């Protein structure tokens, strides 16, 4: 019998724990009795959407997850990919959307803290962070506040940890007015034969708790992240955790020091659903049970109940199983770093989680039915009816602007295109002295000390495309990441993803989700970049209004020789500027259409996977041949914006003189259309033959556009703007809107 004060489990209590009637029936079936409050709380978090993936699981299993480069695919704390020389990279991206909307600084900070723990749990030292952010309209004071808070939170945590934040992306759109997105990515480096996993193996081995003490913060954070927002969401502030990056820095160093020994059997970070999910998952993977002594859990406050201890999401904590007899040696390492370290349980053979308080059991739950037997939903799906109207776009009804100069300046001034300097200058992006390509180019590149190699990484998603066509939009997210990596000189290896969507109980949202997963899968197969880790964030919805489907993709690539990395800005006067790929007349979903015509409409750009691969192959071979001075992907704002960025994003701004081949296209489409599979290169005149040879071998369309020089950007008789005017609009875009 369980010794607990008997509280009657009413329908209201079940509902307030986010469990449906059917789910509660399943609880009763598994236990063969009524749960007590502790047990109900555990079911509630373990079966929350956030922890159980109950709506998404049936789709996620279609992802390609294997390849010769993959050492660890999805299911662990982070994915691991081989980079040769006995080394591997561990990486993952995770969302912290709901808490960041409620409390931007702590929400974002703890998101960064959580993802770094996921990576160093694997035995990897985190060496780079990225982030992908979405805010609402910057004219709203609330969103200026959210942007400032989130950026300060990411900076506060990452800078203190000494892990550089080397890149990222940010977009602003009204669809995020009620739900912002904060997706944090961390990459670490690990020896391929020293990877740690979350297994509670070895009957009798001690279960050890290390790191911060447990407090009452973040209780039910996972459940909160599995619901829509309404009027009362602000009152959920106590469910947001508070971060302490200093303690996490100590935890990082102590764990890495411990990992040099052979004492650890398994280790797992206490993230969402804290002690509950870490202990259940470790035991479930190993097929064991755990007996846990709650009196031994280090606590911040007096009088905490078992319910609170098990559901707290206090940060900077780890659970590990070590070899019996090594307890004192483990403790010595944590003593050195002034961290709590307590034996809180032992591994058992009965497959039961038994929670003990003062010598009596306060909960007894079978592990596998709870961890693996979570409900799985094949939710109904239907294509939204509004798509027919949305995806039609008759270009003949659009007036072509007379002043293309003004359009270009307006686009550079768009917060979706302008310089991100105001953000990345608040992040320490140089600590560790590995950052070879600083923020502000297509992809960040870090060197790997002790080798000739470099690792490139990037995050991308154009959610407007995904709204208009989630299948194509998601494919483009993968393709653009790959193109960005290739532009930096890296060969793409694998991806991680954060799938941010609305309420999955609505058939239209579930359809978006399924289409996005299908698009990501098809594109990942085409680029040979399997999915190795990721996370799903649903219920990004407020008062019934969902965000655009936002399947953010983070991709990692490898440079065999880091010296051959490339950046996006023009380097020398007189260099020839070349376009790889084809200009089509496409304006659907473009930033131009939104900014100039106020429309979000049309089919997104076509993605021809074959052409995309050929363009990327040509670019990569040209960079490897050492003939490329700059390489830049054409993305939002099209060719004119890509050329402008080539002119203004470097240390020494320079102009360009361009003449475009126009076979009867609309000028606005040619200049600002967002056709895919296009890369702008610059190179010395003497290498042009070599480039043509490479392009020809790869059947890649190539057009010489003009040359670098002067102090204006000139494009035919359509664009003639002084570089300093372009630079001013671009540089001040964000800064002028937040201050």
Contacts to other proteins by CB under 8 A: 152, 155-156, 159-162, 244-247, 249-250, 336-338, 424-433, 435-436, 447, 449, 562-563
* Contact (Cβ atoms closer than 8 angstroms) between residue 228 and residue 102: no
* Contact (Cβ atoms closer than 8 angstroms) between residue 604 and residue 548: no
**Closest to 463 (Cα-Cα) out of 591, 568, 608, 586:** 591
Q: Which is nearer to other proteins, 77 or 159 (CB)?
A: 159
* Contact (Cβ atoms closer than 8 angstroms) between residue 290 and residue 349: no
Burial of 598 (0-12, 13-18, 19+ CB in 10 A): exposed
Q: Which is nearer to other proteins, 61 or 336 (CB)?
A: 336
Paired residues of 135 in beta bridges: 172
Q: Which is nearer to other proteins, 163 or 600 (CB)?
A: 163
Going by the DSSP 8-state scheme, the letter that residue 99 receives in this structure is H
* Contact (Cβ atoms closer than 8 angstroms) between residue 269 and residue 117: yes
Q: Which is nearer to other proteins, 28 or 430 (CB)?
A: 430
Distance, CA of 607 to CA of 476 (rounded, Å): 7
Q: Which is nearer to other proteins, 246 or 386 (CB)?
A: 246
CB of 563 to other proteins, least distance (A): 7
Say if strands 550-559 and 454-460 run parallel, antiparallel, or are unpaired.
antiparallel
* Contact (Cβ atoms closer than 8 angstroms) between residue 98 and residue 158: no
**Rounded-to-10 torsion of CA 658, 663, 664, 666:** -40
Residues in the chain, how many? Answer: 739
Q: Which is nearer to other proteins, 162 or 366 (CB)?
A: 162
CB of 555 to other proteins, least distance (A): 23
17 among known catalytic residues = no
Q: Which residue is it, tokens 């002067």?
A: 710
Paired residues of 87 in beta bridges: 84, 191
Paired residues of 170 in beta bridges: 133
Q: Tell me the two tokens of residue 733.
A: 């875009």
Determine the straight-line distance between the first and last CA of the chain, rounded to whole angstroms.
62
Maximum C-alpha span of the chain: 86
CB of 331 to other proteins, least distance (A): 16
Choosing from 50, 565, 632, 712, which is the catalytic residue?
50
**Closest to 175 (Cα-Cα) out of 540, 637, 554:** 540
| Phi, psi angle pair for 474, to nearest 5° | -70, -35
**Closest to 493 (Cα-Cα) out of 517, 518, 519, 524:** 524
Distance, CA of 334 to CA of 251 (rounded, Å): 8
Choosing from 17, 59, 96, 712, which is the catalytic residue?
96
CB of 97 to other proteins, least distance (A): 24
Say if strands 206-211 and 289-293 run parallel, antiparallel, or are unpaired.
unpaired
Q: Which is nearer to other proteins, 168 or 588 (CB)?
A: 168
CB of 219 to other proteins, least distance (A): 25
**Closest to 276 (Cα-Cα) out of 43, 568, 68:** 43
CB of 738 to other proteins, least distance (A): 11
CB of 254 to other proteins, least distance (A): 10
CB of 263 to other proteins, least distance (A): 21
Distance, CA of 191 to CA of 80 (rounded, Å): 10
CB of 106 to other proteins, least distance (A): 15
* Contact (Cβ atoms closer than 8 angstroms) between residue 542 and residue 668: no
Burial of 160 (0-12, 13-18, 19+ CB in 10 A): middle
* Contact (Cβ atoms closer than 8 angstroms) between residue 533 and residue 496: yes
CB of 252 to other proteins, least distance (A): 10
50 among known catalytic residues = yes
Q: Which is nearer to other proteins, 160 or 599 (CB)?
A: 160
Q: Which is nearer to other proteins, 21 or 336 (CB)?
A: 336
Q: Which is nearer to other proteins, 167 or 551 (CB)?
A: 167
Distance, CA of 32 to CA of 39 (rounded, Å): 13
Just list the catalytic residues. Answer: 50, 96
């Amino acid at each position: 019998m369980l010794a607990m004060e008997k509280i009657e489990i009413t329908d209201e209590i079940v509902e307030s724990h986010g469990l449906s009637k059917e789910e509660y029936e399943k609880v009763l079936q598994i236990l063969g009795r009524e749960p007590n409050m502790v047990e109900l709380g555990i079911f509630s978090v373990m079966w929350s959407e956030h922890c159980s993936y109950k709506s998404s699981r049936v789709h996620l299993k279609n992802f390609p997850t294997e390849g010769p480069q993959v050492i660890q695919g999805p299911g662990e704390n982070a994915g691991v990919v081989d980079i040769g020389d006995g080394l591997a990279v561990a990486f993952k991206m995770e969302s912290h959307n709901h808490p960041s909307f409620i409390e931007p600084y702590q929400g974002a900070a703890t998101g960064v803290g959580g993802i770094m723990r996921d990576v160093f749990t694997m035995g990897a030292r985190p060496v780079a962070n990225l982030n992908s952010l979405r805010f609402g309209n910057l004219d709203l004071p609330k969103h200026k506040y959210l942007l400032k808070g989130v950026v300060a939170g990411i900076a506060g945590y990452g800078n203190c940890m000494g892990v550089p934040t080397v890149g990222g992306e940010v977009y602003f759109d009204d669809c995020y007015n009620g739900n912002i997105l904060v997706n944090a990515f961390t990459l670490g480096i690990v020896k391929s034969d020293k990877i740690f996993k979350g297994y509670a193996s070895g009957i009798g081995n001690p279960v050890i708790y290390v790191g911060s003490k447990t407090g009452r913060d973040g209780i039910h954070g996972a459940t909160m992240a599995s619901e829509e927002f309404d009027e009362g969401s602000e009152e959920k502030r106590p469910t947001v955790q508070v971060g302490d990056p200093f303690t996490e820095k100590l935890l990082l160093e102590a764990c890495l020091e411990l990992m040099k020994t052979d004492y650890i059997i398994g280790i797992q970070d206490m993230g969402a659903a804290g002690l509950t999910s870490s202990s259940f998952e470790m035991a479930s993977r190993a097929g064991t049970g755990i007996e846990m002594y709650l009196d031994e859990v280090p606590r911040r406050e007096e009088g905490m109940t078992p319910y609170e201890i098990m559901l707290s999401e206090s940060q900077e904590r780890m659970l590990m199983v070590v070899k019996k007899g090594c307890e004192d040696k483990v403790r010595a390492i944590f003593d050195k770093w002034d961290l709590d370290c307590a034996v809180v349980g032992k591994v058992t053979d009965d497959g039961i989680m038994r929670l003990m308080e003062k010598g009596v059991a306060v909960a007894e739950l079978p592990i596998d039915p709870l961890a693996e037997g979570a409900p799985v939903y094949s939710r109904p799906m239907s294509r939204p009816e509004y798509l027919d109207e949305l995806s039609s776009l008759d270009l003949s009804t659009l007036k072509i602007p007379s002043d293309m100069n003004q359009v270009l300046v307006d686009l550079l001034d768009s917060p979706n295109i302008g310089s991100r300097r105001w953000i990345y200058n608040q992040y320490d992006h140089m600590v560790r002295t590995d950052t070879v390509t600083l923020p502000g180019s297509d992809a960040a590149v870090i060197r790997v000390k002790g080798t000739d190699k470099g690792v490139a990484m990037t995050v991308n998603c154009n959610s407007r495309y995904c709204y208009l066509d989630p299948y194509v939009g998601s494919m483009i997210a993968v393709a653009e990441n790959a193109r960005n990596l290739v532009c930096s000189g890296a060969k793409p290896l694998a991806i991680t993803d954060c799938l941010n969507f609305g309420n999955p109980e609505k058939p239209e949202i579930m359809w978006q989700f399924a289409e996005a997963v299908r698009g990501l899968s098809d594109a990942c197969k085409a680029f040979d970049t399997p999915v190795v880790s990721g996370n799903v964030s649903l219920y990004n919805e407020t008062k019934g209004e969902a965000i655009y489907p936002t399947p953010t993709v983070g991709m990692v690539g490898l440079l065999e020789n880091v010296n051959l990395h490339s950046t996006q800005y023009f380097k020398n006067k007189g260099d020839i500027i070349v376009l790889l790929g084809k200009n089509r007349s496409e304006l659907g979903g473009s930033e131009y259409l939104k900014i100039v015509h106020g429309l979000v409409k049309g089919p997104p750009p076509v993605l021809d996977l074959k052409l995309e691969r050929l363009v990327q192959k040509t670019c990569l071979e040209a960079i490897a041949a050492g003939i490329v001075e700059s390489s830049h992907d054409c993305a939002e704002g099209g060719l004119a914006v890509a050329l402008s960025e080539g002119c203004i994003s470097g240390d020494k701004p320079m102009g360009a003189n361009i003449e475009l081949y126009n076979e009867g296209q609309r000028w606005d489409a040619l200049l600002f259309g967002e056709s895919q599979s296009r890369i702008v290169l610059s190179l010395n005149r003497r290498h042009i033959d070599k480039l043509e040879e490479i392009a020809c071998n790869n059947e890649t369309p190539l057009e010489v556009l003009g040359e670098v020089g002067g102090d204006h950007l000139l494009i035919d008789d359509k664009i003639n703007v002084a570089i300093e005017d372009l630079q001013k609009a671009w540089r001040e875009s964000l800064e002028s809107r937040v201050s």
